Chains A and B, each alone.
Chain A
Amino acid sequence: MATLFWVMTCGGALIWAGTVAVLLYAVRRRTLYSEPAASRLIFWAGAVFPAITLILLLGYALWLMPSLRPLAQPGAPTLRIEVTGRQYWWRVIYRQPGTPPVVSANEIRLPVGERVEFTLKSDDVIHSFWIPALGGKMDMIPGRENRLSLRATKPGTFRGPCTEFCGTSHALMAFSAVAMEPAEFRQWLAGQHVPSAGATGTGARLFIRHGCGACHAVAGTEATGMLGPDLSHLGSRETLGAGILPNSQDNIARFIAEPDVIKPGVQMPGFDMLPPDDIEAIASWLKGLK
C-alpha cells in the first residue's frame, strides 16, 4: 500500500513537473512552431503517452490485486469471521475448520499479522462495514455475501462504525476491533468455545424467567434466542450496545430498563417494569459472564 502511494505520488509529480516545464517554455519562447510540429506534440504527448501510462498503471493495479483481495488462493485463510449487520448491532461468528463456530457480537478480535477473511452479510437493510485503521469499507447487503480480507499489523483496539444509513440509530451502531498477539488470540478463542464459569445461578434463572432467552443466547443456559446479540461472554467485551457505552454493570442495567432511550428505534423492548432488584441481579450476572 505504501509502495503504491509512493509510486503514484512520484509518478504524478514527474508528469506535473514536465507539464509545467513545457508550459513555462511555451510562455517564454518568442517564435512559433509550425502547425504539424504542434500536432505531432499533441498526438504523442497528449494521446499516446497518456494511453500507455494508463495501461501500465491499470496493469500495475491489477497485479497488486491478488495480495489485496486474495481471490482463489490455494492456501485459504484458516480463520473466517462472518459479520452480519442487524438494526443496530453486529452478529459475529468465528469459523475455523475442524472446530465448532463461535458466536459473539459487537466486538471483533483478530490475530496480529495474520490475514483474516471476513464474510459480510445483512439480515435487514444495507449496512456498511469499515475499520478505517485496517482497510477500506464494504457494504453488507441483504441476500448477498461480500468478502473482505484484512490484516492487522499492530496490536490495538480500533473503532468500526456502520457507514451506511440504516435507520434511526444508525449513528449508534459501531463495534470495536481488537487486534491481539496470535497466541493470546488463540487462547481467547478457545475460551469462547466453553460457557462462562458464572453462567448458572440466580441471574440465569431471572434471565430465563423474564423472557430474555427468547432473543438472546447464553451458552450453558436454556437461552438460545437469535434475535439479539449473543451474551455468552458479554462481561469480557469492552463496550455495550454496539460500541456506544462503556461496559459497566450500571450501563447494562440501564440498557435493560430503557434501551429505547439509549438507542431510539432499538429492536429490544424496555424492561423498566421489572423489579429494580431483578434488573440489578441480571446486570451483575451478565457483567460476570467473562
Chain B
Amino acid sequence: MVWRFLPPQVESLWTLFTAPVVWAIHFLICYVGAAVFCAKPGLFDVDFGAVRAGIAFATLLALSAILLAGILAWRQWGFGAGDPPHDDPTRHDRGLFQGFATLLLAGLSFIAVIMTALPALFVTGCLR
C-alpha cells in the first residue's frame, strides 16, 4: 500500500491547524505580494505576468500541502472506517475525532485557496 510511504503519525493537537495555516500564508503571499508590487513600481524588475505566475506557483504549492494534510487526516480518521460523532471518552475516539475535524478543515482550506487565487486569473494589471 502507498500509505506505508506516508510519514509516521504525529500525535499532536497542532496538526489540526496545518491546512488553515497554509491557507492564511497563501492568502498573505497573494494579497501582500500583489499590493507591494502595485504600490512600488520601481522595486521589482518584472511585469504583472510574473506576479500572476508567482501566485499560480504559490497556489499549487499550497494546494499540494493541503492535500497532503488532508490525506494524513484521512489516515488519522482511519480512512473513514467509523462514523462520526466519535464522542467516547477514549484515546482512540479522540484521535478519530481530530482526524475527521482536520479533514473537514483541509477541505475548507482547499476551496478557500482556490477562491483566493481566482482573481489572478482575470486581473491583468495594476490600477495606476
A-B pairs with CB below 8 Å: how many? Answer: 37
Q: Is B15 an interface residue (CB 8 A)?
A: no
Q: A71–B118 contact, CB under 8 A? A: no
Q: Is A51 an interface residue (CB 8 A)?
A: yes
Q: Is A63 an interface residue (CB 8 A)?
A: yes
Interface size class of B (residues with CB under 8 A): 10 to 19
Q: A59–B123 contact, CB under 8 A? A: no
Q: Is A66 an interface residue (CB 8 A)?
A: yes
Report the separation of the CA atoms of residues A65 and B115 in the bound assembly, to the nearest whole angstrom.
Answer: 15
Residue of B nearest to A72 (CB): B125
Q: A55–B124 contact, CB under 8 A? A: no
Q: A62–B127 contact, CB under 8 A? A: no
Known: A55-B111, A58-B115. A72 touches B124 (CB 8 A): yes
| Chain B residues whose CB sits within 8 angstroms of the CB of A95 once the complex forms | none
| Chain A residues whose CB sits within 8 angstroms of the CB of B114 once the complex forms | 55
| Chain B residues whose CB sits within 8 angstroms of the CB of A63 once the complex forms | 122
Digit string of B108-127 for contact with A (CB within 8 Å is 1, else 0)?
Answer: 00010011001101111111
Residue of B nearest to A48 (CB): B107
Report the separation of the CA atoms of residues A63 and B107 in the bound assembly, to the nearest whole angstrom.
Answer: 25
Q: Among residues 81 to 128 in chain B, which have CB atoms less than 8 Å away from a CB atom of chain A? A: 83, 107, 111, 114-115, 118-119, 121-128
The interface of chain B, by Cβ under 8 A from chain A, is 48, 83, 107, 111, 114-115, 118-119, 121-128
The interface of chain A, by Cβ under 8 A from chain B, is 35, 39, 47, 51, 54-55, 58-59, 62-63, 65-66, 71-72, 147
The 6 closest A-B pairs by CB, nearest first: A72-B125, A62-B122, A71-B127, A51-B111, A62-B119, A63-B122
A55-B118, A65-B123, A72-B127 known, 17 other contacts, Cβ within 8 Å: A39-B83, A55-B111, A55-B114, A58-B115, A58-B118, A59-B121, A62-B118, A62-B119, A62-B122, A62-B123, A65-B122, A66-B124, A71-B124, A71-B125, A72-B125, A72-B128, A147-B127
Q: What would 6 A/B residue contacts be, using CB atoms closer than 8 Å?
A: A39-B83, A55-B115, A58-B118, A63-B122, A71-B127, A147-B127
